[in-house]
Structure 1
Amino acid sequence: MKATSVSQFIHVHYRHFNAASLRDASKGYMSHLDRGGQMLVTLAGAMSTAELGLSLSEMIRRDKVHAICCTGANLEEDVFNLVAHNHYERIPHYRELSAHDEQSLLKRHLNRVTDTCIPEEEAMRRVERAVFEEWALAERRGERRFPHEFLYRLLRQETLKAHYQIDPQDSWLYAAAEKDLPMFVPGWEDSTLGNIYAAHCMTKKLRNVHTVRTGVEYMMELAEWYGRVTATQSIGFFQVGGGIAGDFPICVVPMLSQDLRKENVALWGYFCQISDSTTSYGSYSGAVPNEKITWGKLGAETPKFIIESDATIVAPLMFAYVLEW
C-alpha cells in the first residue's frame, strides 16, 4: 500500500459505521475551529495512563484544545507517568490474571489499570511528597488553589524534573501548564491525591481542609469562563468517555440559563462523544446527544457525533487528523 497521511487514510478507508462517524466528527471538529470556535476536551477513564499525552499535548500546543475537564485520576496520572514511566509494568495478558495474581501485584505495590501497573512508591508517593510541600506552603500563607493549580506549580517550578522519565513534551499536563490552559477537575476528592489530601487533613498534618478549592468553585469558575468566551466565540464539546468529566461541564449551559436565568446563553457549538459503553438505561456513557436538547445543553442544529469504540484507538486518530489539517 502506498504510504499516506493519517487524514488521507481515514478519508479513503473510514466510510461506514463507527469509522464513518470518526471521519465525520474529525471534519466537524476542524469546521468548528475554522469558524473561530474553541474546544473543551473532557477526559474520563484512564486516558493519561494510556499515554494520550503523546497526541493531546501537541493539540494543546497548537491551539486545537482550549480547555480541559478531567477526572482527578487523569490529572494526576499524567504526572505519575512523567516521573515514573520506567517503573510501570505492562501486563499484556491481564485478562488471564487470577485473584492470587492480583494479590501478588498488590504485595509488590503495583496498582493495575487494565494492562498497566502504576508503581506506588516511584509514582504516587514521589508526587505526594512534592505536592504536600505545596499544600503546606499554601496553608501557611492562607492561600487557596484548585487541584490542577498545585500540579501546574510543580511543573513550572521543575520541582520533579530530576525524576522525569519521559520527554515532558509528551505530557499533556505539562503542555497545559505552559499554556495556563483553563482546567476543571470535578470530583477530585476520589483520586489518589484527593485521598492523600484527606488523610493529611485527618492526621492534622494539614489543618485547613479548604486549602484545596472544591467542585462547586470549579463550576463557578467554569461558568465565568464559558460566559466570557461565548460572548465572542462558540465552544465545542469533545467528550472522551463518560462519567463526571463529561456530565459536569456540559451542565454549565442550563445552569446559566435556567438557574441564573441569564438570557441568550450560547449552547455548545459542537458535540462529540467517544465511548465503548453503549448508551442505554443506566449506561455509564450517559444520554445520547438528542436527549441533551431537552436539557438545554445542545440545539437541534448543533453538529453531534457518537463514536462507539475504544477511545485509546479513536482519540489519537482524530487528533492526528486535526493536526494534519
Structure 2
Amino acid sequence: MSTKPKKSKTPSNAVAASKKGPISKFIAHNYRHFNAASLVDAARGYEDHLKKGGKMVVTLGGAMSTAELGITLAEMIRKDKVHAIVCTGANLEEDVFNLVAHDYYERVPHYRDLTPADEQALLERHMNRVTDTCIPEMEAMRRIENVVLDEWMKADKAGERFFPHEFMYKILRGGKLKKSYQIDPKNSWMLAAAQKNLPIIVPGWEDATLGNMFASHVITGEIKNVHTVRTGIEYMMWLADWYTKTAKNLRDGNGSIGFFQIGGGISGDFPICVVPMLHQDLQRPDVPLWGYFCQISDSTTSYGSYSGAVPNEKITWGKLGEKTPKYIIESDATIVAPLVFSWVLGR
C-alpha cells in the first residue's frame, strides 16, 4: 500500500513572506532552487532561531564594511536581530573609514583590466584598492589615526587597557568625527553597535591598518606599553565568559546562541572554537553547542579547506551537534547577506 507524504506544518515561503515587504515577497517568489533556495532556508532558520528566544552572533570576513553592508547590518543591530559581532580588524575600521571619507572613495569598475602600471599610479595617489573600490589614505586612514592616537596615548599614560573595538567606541561616542560624516549615520554598523554597546570581538587585530599604526607608535616610543590595546587571547577569554553566561540565561527557555558566518578566515574560525574549548579544555560539558549555523562563502566546498568545509565536519570538532540547523550558501556574500538581512527585517 502506498501512503501519501505528510504535509509539512511549516508555512510555505509565500505565506511566510505575505506580511513582509516587497524584497521578501520577491525572494519568496523567485528563490526556489539551489543556492537561492538555501538563502531562503537560512533566512527562515535565522528568523525561527530568534523567535525561539535565541541570540545570534554574526561574523564578518572579507571586506564587507567597504562593501557597505552597514546599510542592512546597522538596522539588524538596532532591531536586536544581532547580539554580538566577530570581525576582522579591517571590517572594524573600514566601516568608520567609509563613514568619514565616503565622498573621497573612488570606484574602479574596470579593475580586472588594471595593469601593474595602473596599480602603481593608484599607489602614488595613496588610493588603497579593495577590488573595485579605492580607499583614500589621507582622508580615511590618517584621519582616523589622528583621533584614535589621542585615545591610545591617554590610556597609555593612565595605565589603562582597552580592546580595539572599545577604542573605536570611544571616538564614535566622543563626537570628534561627527563633523566629518559623509554618509547617512544610520548606514554605519559601527555607530549602531556603539549606540547599543554591542559586544564585538576582533581576533588578529594586529594585521589591520590601525593595528600596524599602533605598532609603529610603540616602536617610535610615543606609546610606552604595547599592552595598552588588549589582545586576541583576552578576547577569547572574554568570549568564553560571555558565551557561558548568555547560554545559562537562555537555558530556561528554548533559546540558544546561533552563528551566522559571512566569509571565511579568522573572524569565523576564532569564535566557533569557544564551544569545544569550554567543553574540552575547561571541562564545562553542560555548556550547549551552537544552536544554529549558517555560512555564506564562495570558497570551493572541500574538506581540505577550512573555509570550504561543509558544516557537518564541525560536528567532529565539538562545535555543532547532529541536530543543529545547518545552512551553507555558496555565493557572493556582498549579494547574499543584504538579502538574508532584508528577509529577517521583513523588508
Normalising by structure 1, we get a TM-score of 0.98
Aligned match of 1:222 in 220, 236, 239? 239
CA contact (8 A) 1:189 1:195 kept: yes
> Is the CA contact 2:297–2:308 (under 8 Å) kept in the aligned structure 1?
no
Q: Does the CA-based 8 Å contact 1:243-1:286 persist in structure 2? A: no
Find the aligned partners of 1:288 and 1:140 in 2 and give their Cα distance. 48
| SS class of match (2:331) | coil
- Is residue 60 from structure 1 mapped to residue 77 from structure 2 by the alignment? yes
* Residue in structure 2 matched with residue 157 of structure 1 by the alignment: 174
1:154-303 mapped onto 2 (5 Å cutoff): 154-233=171-250, 234-283=256-305, 285-303=307-325
The Cα shift of 1:8 comes to 1.2
Name the larger-Rg structure: 2
Contact preservation (8 Å) 2:296, 2:331: yes
Give the corresponding residue for 1:14. Answer: 31
Paired residue secondary structure (1:232): helix
Matched residue count:
322
1:202-259 Cα distance to aligned partner (Å, 9 max, x none): 1111110000000000000000000010013211000000000000000000000000
Aligned equivalents of 1:36, 1:284: Cα separation in 2: 30
Counterpart code for 1:158? G
Specify whether residues 284 and 265 from structure 1 end up closer, same or farther in structure 2 by C-alpha distance, changes over 3 A only: closer
Match of 1:108 in 2: 125
Residue 90 of structure 2 aligns to a residue whose secondary structure is helix
Render the CA deviation track for 1:71-118: whole Å, top value 9, x for unaligned: 000000000000000000000110010000000000000000000000
Separation in 2, partners of 1:288, 1:30: 22
Amino acid at match of 1:34: K
Say which SS state the counterpart of residue 112 (structure 1) adopts: strand
* Aligned residue type for 2:314: K
2:320 counterpart letter in structure 1: L
Question: Take 2:128 and 2:306, find their aligned partners in 1: how far apart are those partners?
Answer: 23
Quote how far apart the aligned CAs of 1:284 are.
Answer: 5.8
- Counterpart CA distance in 2 for 1:7 and 1:119 is 36
Letter in 1 for 2:305: S
Which stretches of structure 1, 4 residues or longer, exceed 6 Å deviation after superposition? none
Shift of 1:285: 1.6
- In the alignment, what sits opposite 2:88? 71
Report deviation, 1:281: 4.8
Q: CA RMSD for the aligned pairs?
A: 1.0
Aligned match of 2:162 in 128, 145, 150? 145
* Structure 1 position 123 matched with structure 2 position 140: yes
Letter in 2 for 1:237: F
Q: Is the 8 A contact 1:268 1:297 kept in 2?
A: yes
- Answer whether contact 2:58 2:84 (CA < 8 A) is retained: yes
- Structure 2 distance, partners of 1:84, 1:11, is 37
Equivalent of 1:83 in 90, 95, 100 = 100
2:298 aligned counterpart, secondary structure:
coil
Question: Structure 1 residue 286: deviation in Å?
Answer: 4.2
Q: 2: CA distance between counterparts of 1:205 and 1:311? A: 40
In 1, distance between residues paired with 2:136 and 2:97? 9
Q: Structure 1 residues 281, 266: closer, same or farther in 2, change over 3 A?
A: closer
Letter in 2 for 1:278: T
How far apart are the structure 1 equivalents of 2:305 and 2:214?
Answer: 31
Rounded to whole Å, the distance in 2 between the matches of 1:109 and 1:169 is: 28
Rounded to whole Å, the distance in 1 between the matches of 2:106 and 2:55 is 37
Counterpart of 1:17 in structure 2: which amino acid?
F
Post-superposition CA distance 1:151-182 (Å, at most 9, x none)? 00111111111111111111000000000001
List per-residue Cα deviations over 1:7-46 (Å, max 9, x = no partner). 1111111110000000000000000000000000000000
Q: Which runs of 5+ in 2 are unaligned?
A: 1-20, 251-255
Any conservation in 2 of the 1:277–1:284 contact (CA below 8 Å)?
Answer: no
Would you say the 8 A contact 2:303–2:310 is kept in 1? no
Deviates more, 1:280-289 or 1:220-229: 280-289
Aligned-pair identity in percent equals: 70
Tell me how far 1:282 sits from its aligned partner. 4.0
Unaligned runs of 5+ in 1: none
**Structure 1 position 311 matched with structure 2 position 329:** no
Deviation at 1:304, TM superposition (A): 0.2
Q: d(CA) in 2 for partners of 1:66 and 1:184?
A: 12
Given that 1:52 and 1:316 are in contact with CA atoms closer than 8 Å, whether structure 2 keeps it comes out as yes
Q: Give the Cα–Cα distance (whole angstroms) in 1 for the partners of residues 156 and 303 of structure 2.
A: 44
